[in-house]
């Protein structure tokens, strides 16, 4: 495709059940271990990319506001990569709108860079299938590679391939099949929608460099992933939930042991965790996971989501509670290659 010079894409955030926490290669965005996530049907990001041959440089609008500093640079670096792959030179105008709070541990960078990868590839005429787009999105934000696919997806760390360009070719996400009877929901407890004090990137870097618990968690995460795949294939929600919760708590333990400590969980997060325990004592399958922020996501059976949401609203009245279901992969909604 020549590239029409203009494209719009939509992508949804994904929440990891087996976490991505720590890179083995910063430049190529290669993770220390595989991760596995669920793409959601809420909080889409819509991103338009329009080539601007006359412009002096890339312009980035985030939520209608001109981005400057690191947020602009991160997008411009990504466009530079797309231009290199496409053999193009023109700058572009990027207009992106998140419907999720940005930088709050609700995966705005995942939906953001998945949508940007799809829209930029189309605008610059870079022929790319979902696997190639997943690999590309990874360079913008690691977790973005998983939002190329709907439902459950696994990001391969490609440790066998070593590093650099060889691993770049094979470190991407792939859909993960689950038993047909496994119908899940993710109840999102937004206790604080403000941006985090420490970015995910900085927190990961500090954890990898200083936490004595980091390596043991990576080793346990490898086992968690194998067991998670089996639990998904078997449609065993309790096993999926148990593995999800222990993997997240272990990740937060690595951060708490970093020097200085990185602590994302707030008092209201712990209140939500108590409510999840109480739900389990009442016999409901409800299991929590938390990312780089205070918000808590509760995995449960789709049929019990409204019950779980009601209990969490009551336990954490100041939070806003959103029920999400498995959602679709990133896709082009206007422009070339539709
Ligand atoms: P995650 O849960 O994946 O860590 P997050 O939103 O909680 O995501 P960060 O990883 O710190 O937080 O990433 C937030 C940064 O991602 C923003 O500061 C901005 O630079 C970038 N970003 C977010 N949304 C977009 C978007 N739609 N387009 C381009 N860049 C974005």
Q: Classify the phi-psi angles of 2: left when phi > 0, otherwise alpha if psi is within -120 to 50, otherwise beta.
A: alpha
Using CA positions, which residue lies closest to atom 1 of ligand 1?
107
| Per-residue pLDDT tens over the stretch 13-39 | 999 999 999 999 999 999 999 999 999
Listed residue (65, 224, 199) closest to 141, CA to CA: 199
Q: Which of 40, 74, 112 for mutating ligand 1's site (highest number of atoms within 8 Å of CB)?
A: 112
Beta strands in the chain (DSSP E): 6-11, 14-18, 23-25, 30-31, 35-39, 45-51, 59-62, 65-66, 92-98, 152-155, 173-175, 184-190, 286-290, 296-301, 320-324, 331-335
CA distance 19 to 30: 14
Mean predicted confidence (pLDDT) in 169-193: 96
ipTM of the complex: 0.93
User: Nearest 5°: phi and psi at 15?
Assistant: -115, 125
CA distance 194 to 140: 22
- Tell whether ligand 1 has an atom less than 6 A from the beta carbon of residue 200: yes
CA distance 174 to 3: 26
Q: Is the pLDDT of residue 293 over 80?
A: yes
- Tell whether ligand 1 has an atom less than 6 A from the beta carbon of residue 143: yes
Write down the pLDDT at residue 336: 64
- Work out the pLDDT band at 3, boundaries 50, 70, 90: low
- Tell whether ligand 1 has an atom less than 6 A from the beta carbon of residue 74: yes
- Tell whether ligand 1 has an atom less than 6 A from the beta carbon of residue 96: yes
CA of 315 to the centre of ligand 1 (A): 29
For CA atoms 46, 51, 54, 56, the dihedral sign is positive
CA distance 163 to 160: 9
Using CA positions, which residue lies closest to atom 21 of ligand 1?
109
CA distance 54 to 267: 51
Q: Order of strands, edge to edge, in the sheet holding 320-324?
A: 286-290, 296-301, 184-190, 320-324
Lowest mean pLDDT, pick from 30-34, 256-260, 276-280, 333-337: 333-337
- Tell whether ligand 1 has an atom less than 6 A from the beta carbon of residue 291: yes
- Tell whether ligand 1 has an atom less than 6 A from the beta carbon of residue 147: no
C-alpha triplet 96, 115, 23: angle, nearest 5° = 110
Q: Is the pLDDT of residue 1 over 50?
A: no
H or E segment at 72?
Answer: helix 69-86
Atom of ligand 1 nearest to the CA of 74: 20
Pairing of strands 59-62, 92-98: parallel
How many other CB atoms sit within 10 Å of the CB of residue 220?
A: 14
How many other CB atoms sit within 10 Å of the CB of residue 74?
A: 18
| Predicted TM-score (pTM) of this structure | 0.96
Please enumerate in sequence order all residues whose Cβ is within 8 A of that of 183, keeping only pairs 6 or more positions apart, or say none: 301, 302, 303
CA of 140 to the centre of ligand 1 (A): 10
Listed residue (222, 243, 221, 247) closest to 233, CA to CA: 243
Q: Is the pLDDT of residue 337 over 80?
A: no
Using CA positions, which residue lies closest to atom 28 of ligand 1?
112
CA distance 306 to 183: 14
Q: Is the pLDDT of residue 338 over 60?
A: no
CA distance 167 to 1: 27
Using CA positions, which residue lies closest to atom 7 of ligand 1?
105
CA distance 332 to 118: 6
CA of 110 to the centre of ligand 1 (A): 7
CA of 71 to the centre of ligand 1 (A): 8
- Tell whether ligand 1 has an atom less than 6 A from the beta carbon of residue 199: yes
CA of 162 to the centre of ligand 1 (A): 28
- Tell whether ligand 1 has an atom less than 6 A from the beta carbon of residue 99: no
Please enumerate in sequence order all residues whose Cβ is within 8 A of that of 282, keeping only pairs 6 or more positions apart, or say none: none
CA distance 336 to 51: 13
Q: Which of 81, 107, 108, 290 for mutating ligand 1's site (highest number of atoms within 8 Å of CB)?
A: 108
| Per-residue pLDDT tens over the stretch 59-113 | 999 999 999 999 999 999 999 999 999 999 999 999 999 998 777 778 899 999 9
CA of 103 to the centre of ligand 1 (A): 5
How many other CB atoms sit within 10 Å of the CB of residue 67?
A: 19
* DSSP per-residue letters across 10-57: EE--EEEEE----EEETTTTEESS-EEEEEBSSS-EEEEEEE-TT-SS
């Amino acid at each position: 495709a020549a590239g029409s010079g203009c494209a719009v894409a939509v992508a949804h955030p994904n929440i990891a059940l087996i976490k991505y926490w720590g890179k083995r290669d910063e430049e190529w965005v290669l993770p220390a271990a595989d991760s596995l996530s669920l793409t959601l049907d809420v909080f889409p990001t819509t991103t338009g990319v329009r080539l601007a041959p006359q412009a002096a440089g890339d312009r980035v609008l985030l939520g209608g506001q001109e981005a400057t500093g690191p947020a602009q640079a991160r997008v411009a670096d990504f466009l530079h990569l797309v231009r290199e792959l496409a053999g193009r030179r023109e700058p572009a105008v990027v207009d992106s709108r998140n419907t999720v709070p940005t930088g709050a541990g609700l995966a705005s960078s995942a939906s953001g860079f998945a949508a940007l990868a799809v829209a930029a590839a189309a605008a610059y005429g870079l022929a790319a299938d979902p696997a190639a787009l997943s690999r590309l999105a990874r360079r913008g934000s690691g977790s973005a590679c998983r939002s190329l696919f709907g439902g459950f997806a696994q990001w391969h760390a490609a440790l066998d391939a070593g590093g650099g360009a060889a691993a770049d070719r094979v470190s991407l996400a792939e859909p993960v099949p689950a038993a047909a009877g496994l119908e899940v929901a993710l109840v999102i407890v937004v206790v604080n929608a403000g941006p985090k004090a420490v970015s995910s990137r900085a927190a990961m870097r500090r954890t990898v460099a200083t936490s004595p618990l980091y390596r043991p968690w990576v080793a346990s995460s490898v086992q968690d992933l194998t067991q998670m795949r089996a639990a998904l294939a078997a449609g065993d929600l309790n096993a999926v939930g148990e593995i999800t919760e222990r993997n997240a708590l272990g990740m937060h333990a690595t951060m708490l042991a970093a020097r200085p400590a990185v602590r994302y969980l707030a008092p209201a997060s712990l209140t939500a965790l108590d409510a999840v325990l109480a739900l389990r004592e009442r016999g409901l399958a409800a299991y929590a996971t938390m990312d780089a922020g205070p918000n808590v996501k509760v995995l449960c059976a789709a049929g019990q989501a409204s019950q779980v949401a009601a209990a969490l609203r009551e336990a954490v009245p100041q939070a806003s509670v959103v029920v999400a279901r498995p959602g679709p992969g990133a896709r082009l909604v206007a422009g070339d290659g539709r």
